[in-house]
Amino acid sequence: MFRWAFLFLILGILIWMFADSKATRWIGLGVLSAIALISGVFFYVLDQPERREATAPGVDRTIAEVEEVSRRLETARFALKPADIALLKSSLSPGQTVAWNASGDEQEAVDFSSWTLNGEIKNLSSEHTAQDVSLRARLFDCPAFFTTPIDQVQISRLTSECSMVGQRTVGLYDIKLAPGLTHTFTETIEFIDQIDPRNWRFWVDVTGVTASVQ
């Protein structure tokens, strides 16, 4: 490309030096400029396939990297199931507030607008690390004759004999729970549009889990 540009430059100088009149010079230079322009366009078009071939490997490599990341994310999404996470123990306690009795004395009272959820989970998988875990906490209001202790209650009895008055999803994020290990948690939660339960019970279960991207 540069060789042709040099050649056109030499021809331009020769035309300018040996043309017998200004008109001839300008005509010669105009024709030479037109030829140079056409040649430049021709060589530019001719060079495009080589440019595309030179940049194609980089583009293909980027696409391959994006596809690999997508594949890993999809694998992590379905590598673990809720059954791979065991809920070893859980407790749900209402908050505490200050109230005054009829005599004007200050005393502690139950605050049903805020709850504290404690528990421990274990990764039962022998291969994958759990990155995020989703829990579902359900609050029930049971009749007065329902006397089963909180730690002995069964979900089948809760759904048949009690009324659910609140439900909340709790996310345990970026816990990186390795296979076979346990993780304890404490979360403060609120139940939207909850009524104050008179004889409350609760149930917590695992609803979702995502594995770490390898």
**Could you give the count of Cα atoms lying within 13 Å of 61 in the half-sphere of its Cβ?**
5
98 and 181 together in one domain: yes
Give the confidence band of 103 by pLDDT, cuts at 50, 70, 90: confident
Helix axes 2-18, 22-79, angle to 10 degrees: 170
Task: Please check the confidence at residue 41 and state whether its pLDDT lies above 90.
Answer: no
One domain for residues 29 and 109? no
Q: Tell me the torsion sign for CA atoms 149, 154, 158, 160.
A: negative
- 3-class secondary-structure state, position 72: helix
User: Would you state the structure tokens that stand for residue 52, as one six-digit string?
Assistant: 């595309």
Most confident of 32-41, 47-56, 76-85, 132-141: 132-141
- The per-residue pLDDT for range 190-212, each reduced to its tens digit, is 998 888 899 999 999 999 999 98
Number of domains in the chain: 2
Say whether both 68 and 108 belong to one domain.
no
Q: How confident is the model at residue 10 (pLDDT cuts 50, 70, 90)?
A: low
Angle at CA of residue 78, ends 73 and 83, nearest 5°: 140
Last residue of a domain, one of 16, 46, 79: 79
Checking if the pLDDT of 184 tops 90, the result is: yes
CATH number at residue 184: 2.70.50
Is the pTM here over 0.85, yes or no?
no
Instruction: Strands of the chain (E only): list them.
Output: 85-100, 106-123, 130-141, 163-172, 182-189, 200-211
First to last CA, the chain: 49
Quick one: the chain helix, strand, coil %, rounded to 5?
A: 40, 35, 25
The per-residue pLDDT for 183 is 98
Question: Residue 58: pLDDT above 90?
Answer: no
Containing domain of residue 165, as a range? Answer: 82-211
71 and 149 in a single domain? The answer is no
CA-to-CA distance for 126 and 128, rounded, in angstroms? 6
Whether residues 58 and 87 share a domain: the answer is no
Claim to verify: residue 73 and residue 12 sit in the same structural domain = yes
Residue 50 has pLDDT above 60, yes or no: no
- Together in a domain, 185 and 132: yes
Residues 203 and 159 in one domain: yes
Same domain? 102 vs 161? yes
Indicate the residue among 44, 79, 114 that finishes a domain. Answer: 79
Final residue of a domain: which of 24, 47, 79? 79
Helix (H, G, I), strand (E, B) or coil at 141: strand
pLDDT of residue 17 exceeding 80:
no
Same domain, 204 and 102: yes
Res. 65 pLDDT band, cuts 50 70 90: low
Do residues 160 and 207 share a domain? yes
Q: Indicate whether 189 pLDDT > 90.
A: yes
Among 28-32, 111-115, 145-149, 176-180, the minimum mean pLDDT is found in 28-32
Residues 48, 137 share a domain: no
